[in-house]
Amino acid sequence: MSMRASFLLSVALGIAAPCVAQSPGTFELGGFARYTFFDDALALDDQVGGGGTLGIFLFRNFALEAEGAYTTTSTTGTPSLDVDNTPIRGRLTYHIPLGGYASAIRIGAGYVRNMFGKDVNFDDDGATGLLGLRLGLGEKFALQVDGTIDYVPSPSGVAADDYKNWGVQGGVVLLFGNSYDGDKDKVKDKNDRCPGTPAGASVDSNGCAASQRDTDKDTVKDSADRCANTAAGAKVDAEGCAPEQKDKDHDGVIDNLDKCLDTPSGETVNASGCSASQVDSDADRVNDNVDKCPDSPAGERVDSDGCAIGQLDRDKDGVMDNVDACADTPAGQPVDARGCSRDSDADGVPDGVDVCPSTPNGQAVDQQGCPKLFEGTKRTVILQGVTFATGKSELTDSGKAVLRDVAHSLAANPDVRVQVSGHSDNTGSRSANLRLSTARAKTVESYLESNGVSPAQLTSKGFGPDKPVASNKTAAGRAQNRRVELNRIN
Q: What pLDDT, in 10s, does the model give residues 72-102?
A: 999 998 889 999 999 999 999 999 988 667 8
Instruction: With both helix axes pointing from N to C terminus, report the angle between 397-411 and 430-450 in degrees, rounded to the nearest 10.
Output: 60
Q: Is domain 380-488 given the CATH code 3.60.15.10 in the classification?
A: no
First to last CA, the chain: 58
Inform me whether the pLDDT recorded for 189 exceeds 70: no
What element of type H or E holds 146? Answer: strand 141-153
Mean pLDDT, residues 267-295: 84
State the pLDDT at residue 11: 42
Question: Model confidence at 159, in pLDDT bands (50, 70, 90)?
Answer: low
Distances (CA, A) of 411 to 134, 380, 417, 448: 58, 18, 11, 9
Inform me whether the pLDDT recorded for 18 exceeds 50: no
Q: pTM here? A: 0.40
In single-letter form, the type of residue at position 26 comes to T
**Cα–Cα distance, 397 to 387 (Å, whole number):** 9
**Cα–Cα distance, 100 to 138 (Å, whole number):** 8
Q: Which of 446, 358, 459, 460 is nearest to 409 (CA)?
A: 358
Residue 79 preceded by cis peptide, ω within 30: yes
The second-level CATH assignment, the architecture, of 2-176 is Beta Barrel (2.40)
State the pLDDT at residue 343: 67
Helices and strands in the chain, H and E counts:
4, 12
Looking at 121-130, 184-193, 251-260, 460-469, which range is the least confident one? 184-193
State the pLDDT at residue 201: 86
For the chain, give every domain's residue range: 2-176, 380-488
Q: Which of 127, 165, 164, 129 is nearest to 146 (CA)?
A: 129
Beta pairing class for 141-153 and 122-136:
antiparallel
Buried-state track 83-110, b at ≥16 Cβ within 10 A, e below 16: bbbbbbbebebebebbbbbbbbbbebeb
Q: Which of 281, 2, 355 is nearest to 166 (CA)?
A: 2
pLDDT higher at 207 or 51: 51
Q: What are phi and psi of 129, to 5 degrees?
A: -135, 160
| Four-residue CA torsion sign, 264, 265, 268, 271 | positive
Distances (CA, A) of 142 to 8, 176, 311: 16, 12, 73
Q: Is-contact 26 57, C-beta < 8 A?
A: yes
